[in-house]
Amino acid sequence: MNACMHRDYQANMPIRLYQFDDYIEVMNAGGLYGEARPENFPSVNDYRNPLVAEAMRVMKYVNKFNRGVTRVQEMLKDNGNPSAEFDVNTITAFRVNIHATNESDLSKGTSQPLSQPPSQSIEEKIVEFCKEPRSGAEIAAHCGFKDIKYFRERYLNPLLGTRIQMTIPDKPTSRNQKYIATTQQD
């Protein structure tokens, strides 16, 4: 989405997505733009294509301006991958490399070294933590997330009705809303 939103549409270079054995590379025409500079990226951004950016936001392809890089880094961390590497020093192109955890993981089809036990997934952490009623903010903090809205959309809402339930289901937006793990019946 960021590659489409921020690319330089006056250039002929297409958006490139390369998949290698140990990393993925995304590259698009146009480097940083406007107020965004290598020394302040990613905390400052600017929109080369404000109409495209606004249209993508309205159509819900992107949820919040200036959140894409942070969101990608959080998702990679959640998946056990190292952070994405952004090459922002080229004037005519923008490159992002996303690496696998390590080469042995690729050949074994896992994102974690086999010498370590698999870590508990975020979903499992939520269910375990919600054995007692917990607020959305408490659950997000327990799982290491600061952006509660993102956490709710990405992790909490998909578990509703199957693994967790609301304590006040008739008032889903209540400030007193809490979540509790559902009891599994055999």
Q: Are 111 and 105 in contact (CB under 8 A)?
A: yes
pLDDT digit string (tens) for 123-151? 888 999 999 999 999 998 888 887 788 88
pLDDT of residue 97: 80
Q: Which pLDDT belongs to residue 148?
A: 81
The pLDDT, as a whole number, for residue 116 is 36
Residue 171 burial (C-beta neighbours within 10 Å; 0-12, 13-18, 19+): exposed
Banded pLDDT at 184 (limits 50, 70, 90): low
Q: Which residue has the higher pLDDT, 38 or 110?
A: 38
- Classify each residue of 11-25 as buried b or exposed e, where b means 16 or more C-beta atoms within 10 Å of its C-beta: eeeeeeeeeeeebeb
d(CA 175, CA 136): 10
Query: Looking at residue 64, what is its pLDDT?
Result: 64
